[in-house]
């Protein structure tokens, strides 16, 4: 005896495919979240490393300027000219040594009182003036004379350029003879790190110890330095090892990633920022098409499964029909092989 088994119902296939599709959606969602979490951590780490690289470049370049200043103030003829307040001799020495300082544009020598002794290039507006209230002078004097990197400020005169100074006391033993101040234009500082790129969509900026922009890649209005204390990466507490954070900001309230790193002991910091949307752009460009492709494959498999069931159902019906015919033929064959029943015989009358 042959047993015929009916194919599964289409509804069961639909439910099974729906379950597979739901499980696939869960797998896609979990995979997406895990990759976003891991990618975000890696992006923050990369931004911190980038900020550290820029910090080291700026710090080392300012350190070279400070090294130049130390070499200059160790010259006996330079200290003698400062002590004698020989402006002409000091200008000649500055003219000879200033090109050795990377990116240095100008230098000023002051007495311990802040009175200007000499400047190179010569700046007539400084003749007879005092810089005792200059931020760089006050910073070098605060807490005992020491080297100091000033906050960014607008230089006086016709240019009104934003500058920062590396300030070093000129000492002879324990006696302070004067103060040497070497200036860097903000545009020069910007050129030190302009080759560092954060792609896609990211950028670097530098902030001084008073939370003023030193370097910013986009246009900043002329005038006094822009105060950015309320920017989250600037307000973020910073350790000597740097840090990272996520925040919302910009013209649109989108999420940003930031890595922050201090520039030595200057109080300055470098901030590397990138929109989270841009950080994951390549990932999403690959992930979502793959997800759509898998979903389409599931739909194709579901359609093929339903079609297969329809074919199997038609075959099953055909087999049932053939089976019924076979049974009918077998029954007819049995009846024909046995023949008609014998006729009854009549007994003769006695």
190: Cβ–Cβ under 8 A, 6 or more apart, which residues?
Answer: 215
- Band of the pLDDT at 1, cuts 50, 70, 90? very low
Burial classification of residue 22, based on how many CB atoms lie within 10 Å of its CB (0-12 exposed, 13-18 middle, 19 or more buried): exposed
Largest CA-CA distance found in the chain, in angstroms, rounded: 182
The residue that leads in pLDDT, 339 or 200, is: 200
Residue 152 has pLDDT above 90, yes or no: yes
What confidence score (pLDDT) does residue 156 get?
A: 72
Sign of the torsion angle spanned by Cα atoms 42, 48, 50, 56: negative
Are residues 225 and 213 in contact, defined by beta-carbon separation less than 8 angstroms?
yes
The arrangement of secondary structure in 37-62+189-281, i.e. its CATH architecture, is 2-Layer Sandwich (3.30)
Are residues 206 and 215 in contact, defined by beta-carbon separation less than 8 angstroms?
yes
Q: Between the CA atoms of 149, 150, 155 and 161, what dihedral angle is there, to the nearest 10 degrees?
A: 70
Beta bridge partners of 179: 110, 169
CA triple 157-268-188, angle to 5 deg: 45
Q: What is the DSSP string of 202-270?
A: -EEEEE-TTSBEEE-SS---SSSPPB-TTSHHHHS---TT-EEEEEEETTTTEEEEEEEEE-TTSS-EE
What confidence score (pLDDT) does residue 189 get?
A: 95
Residue 161 three-state SS: coil
CB atoms within 10 A of CB 294: 15
Q: What is the DSSP string of 106-126?
A: EEEEE-TTSBEEEEES--GGG
Cα distances (angstroms) measured from residue 130 to each of 118, 134, 151, 157: 11, 9, 18, 15
Cα distances (angstroms) measured from residue 336 to each of 76, 327, 330, 341: 139, 14, 10, 11
197-252: pLDDT as tens digits: 998 889 999 999 999 999 998 867 677 899 999 999 999 999 999 999 999 976 66
- Band of the pLDDT at 310, cuts 50, 70, 90? confident
Highest mean predicted confidence (pLDDT) among 61-65, 129-133, 220-224: 61-65
316-329: pLDDT as tens digits: 777 777 778 877 78
Are residues 101 and 185 in contact, defined by beta-carbon separation less than 8 angstroms?
no
Please tell me the distance from the alpha carbon of residue 279 to that of residue 281, in angstroms, as a whole number: 6
Mean pLDDT within 106-118: 94
Q: Is CATH 3.90.1200.10 correct for 63-187?
A: no
What confidence score (pLDDT) does residue 261 get?
A: 98
Residue 139 has pLDDT above 80, yes or no: yes
């Amino acid at each position: 005896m042959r047993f015929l088994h009916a194919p599964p119902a289409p509804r069961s296939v639909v439910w099974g495919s729906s379950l597979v599709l739901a499980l696939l959606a869960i797998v896609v969602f979990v995979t997406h979240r895990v990759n976003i979490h891991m990618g975000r951590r890696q992006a923050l780490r990369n931004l911190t490393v980038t900020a550290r690289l820029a910090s080291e470049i700026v710090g080392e370049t300012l350190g070279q300027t400070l090294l130049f200043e130390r070499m200059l103030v160790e010259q006996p003829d330079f200290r003698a000219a400062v002590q004698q307040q020989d402006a002409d001799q000091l200008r000649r020495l500055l003219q000879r040594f200033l090109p050795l300082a990377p990116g240095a544009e100008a230098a000023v020598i002051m007495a311990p009182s802040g009175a200007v002794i000499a400047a190179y290039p010569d700046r007539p507006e400084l003749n007879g003036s005092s810089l005792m209230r200059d931020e760089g002078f006050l910073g070098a004097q605060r807490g005992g004379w020491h080297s100091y990197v000033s906050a960014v400020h607008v230089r006086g005169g016709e240019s009104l350029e934003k500058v920062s100074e590396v300030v070093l006391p000129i000492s002879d033993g324990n006696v302070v003879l004067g103060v040497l101040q070497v200036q860097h234009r903000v545009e020069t500082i910007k050129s030190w790190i302009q080759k560092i790129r954060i792609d896609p969509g990211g950028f670097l900026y530098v902030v001084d110890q008073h939370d003023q922009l030193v370097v910013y890649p986009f246009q900043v209005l002329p005038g006094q330095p822009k105060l950015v204390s309320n920017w989250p990466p600037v307000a973020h507490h910073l350790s000597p090892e740097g840090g990272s954070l996520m925040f919302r900001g910009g013209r649109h309230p989108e999420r940003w990633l930031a890595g922050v790193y201090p520039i030595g002991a200057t109080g300055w910091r470098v901030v590397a920022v990138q929109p989270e949307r841009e950080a994951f752009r390549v990932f999403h460009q690959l992930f979502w098409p793959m997800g759509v492709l898998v979903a389409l494959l599931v739909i194709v498999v579901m359609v093929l499964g339903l079609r297969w069931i329809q074919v199997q159902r038609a075959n099953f019906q055909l087999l049932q029909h053939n089976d019924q015919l076979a049974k009918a033929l077998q029954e007819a064959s049995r009846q024909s092989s046995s023949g008609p029943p014998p006729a009854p015989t009549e007994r003769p009358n006695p």
